[in-house]
Structure 1
Amino acid sequence: MTLPHTRTPLSALKEWDAQCQLLATGRVSLLLRKGGIMETHDGFEVEHRRFLLYPTFLHQNPQELQPEHQALLRSDPAPGQIVLPALAEVVAVHKVTSLEAALRLEPLQGLNAGAIERRFHYRNRPWIHALLLRVRPLPTPLVLEETPDLLGCVSWVPLGGVDAQPGGPAVPEPELEARRHALERLLTA
């Protein structure tokens, strides 16, 4: 099913390009987030339930990706531009306060155990957000000029009114529901 063409105020969530590739292709539906260095004192919050994925190339670290995903690392293919590949919708969000539970999520997403643990303890705040996302790739990625107001180590970037016409979901609904159940089982194990 294709959503109708909309011109809606949207925000974008900055995430490593490799992670955005995994989400946009349906290889994963889970994203673990803690926040950037410019976040508020409380850290990352799920401010939006619908947003565009904003691939970033700064700070991508091959030692923090699972080995099978390291081949996705690449240099910025469009310097001076932001290429937004997909619209994401939050299906479920969990604030995970147990490191053991966070580490059990490793098979469902792209980071390795060391990266999960480092993010979990970042700024001496022991927690991490687990976001299950329905991702809808854009048939034609949205390309924006990179401007100073889009830069910086923040998670959320307001985009104002942009044209976004997503296609169908990268993961069929039955599979996404199975991934939701797997997430919930791992969090309560």
Structure 2
Amino acid sequence: MSSSIALKEWDTQCRLLTVGQLSLLIRKGGIMETHEGFTVEHRRFLLYPTFLHQNPQELQPAYRALLREDPTPGQIRFPALAEVVAVHKVESLDTALKLEPLQALTADAIERRFQYRGRPWVHALLLRVRPLVTPLVLPETPGMLGCVSWVPLNGVEHDLQLDGPAVSEAELAARQQHLEELLSP
């Protein structure tokens, strides 16, 4: 398996996805994204744990203890490969708030992201996550910096040895069904 693109996400959320505790991300985009904000440009990518802007007040209390300082400054340790199983553009705040139990952000954080830049929507991404047997470690380069979602990894395909899925296909299907029930009108 290989991948030459990564998605930046808070370290805490990357770890929760990698161990299978969660399978859902709510995304809006970074401050350096285009005017349209975040789009799902890639269906398969490495998880890029970032420590920038991690905010304990935006994480549900159950996950705050997982916050940590960057253990390897100057290096990025990519823990897993993720594949998009489903993506939904959620354009109702009430619906977006229903997703709080399925992911790590607080309701207030979801609402802030929903309202960000006066564009009322968020993306809900259901992910199939496969931890790497050995994390891919790369030096952090200037091209990786900034508040962007997608990071090309020097245009080089990196061979990855994948472990088993973080959650079984049956569990992922159950999570997808629950998500779709919450999203239905």
TM-score if structure 2 supplies the norm length?
0.97
Aligned partners of 2:22, 2:4: CA distance in 1, in Å?
Answer: 23
Q: Is 2:11 the partner of 1:17? A: yes
Aligned residue runs from structure 1 range 165-180, under 5 A: 165-180=161-176
2:184 aligned partner? 188
Q: CA shift at 1:150, angstroms?
A: 1.0
RMSD (CA atoms)? 0.8
- Listed one character per residue, the Cα deviations across residues 110-167 of structure 1 (whole Å, up to 9, x for unaligned) are 0010000000000000000000000000010000001101111100001121121211
Aligned partners of 2:144, 2:119: CA distance in 1, in Å?
Answer: 27
Q: Is 2:99 the partner of 1:100? A: no
Consecutive unaligned residues in structure 1, runs of 5 or more? 1-5
**Is the Cα contact below 8 Å between 2:74 and 2:139 reproduced in 1?**
yes
Counting matched residue pairs gives 183
Q: Percent identity?
A: 73
Consecutive unaligned residues in structure 2, runs of 5 or more? none
Q: Is 2:22 the partner of 1:28? A: yes
Stretches of 4+ aligned residues off by more than 2 angstroms = none
Q: Is 2:113 the partner of 1:145? A: no
2:118 aligned partner? 124
Aligned partners of 1:131, 1:37: CA distance in 2, in Å?
Answer: 19
Q: Could you tell me which of 149, 156, 165 is aligned with 1:155?
A: 149
1:47 aligned partner? 41
Q: Could you tell me which of 88, 97, 110 is aligned with 2:82?
A: 88
Aligned partners of 2:130, 2:104: CA distance in 1, in Å?
Answer: 18
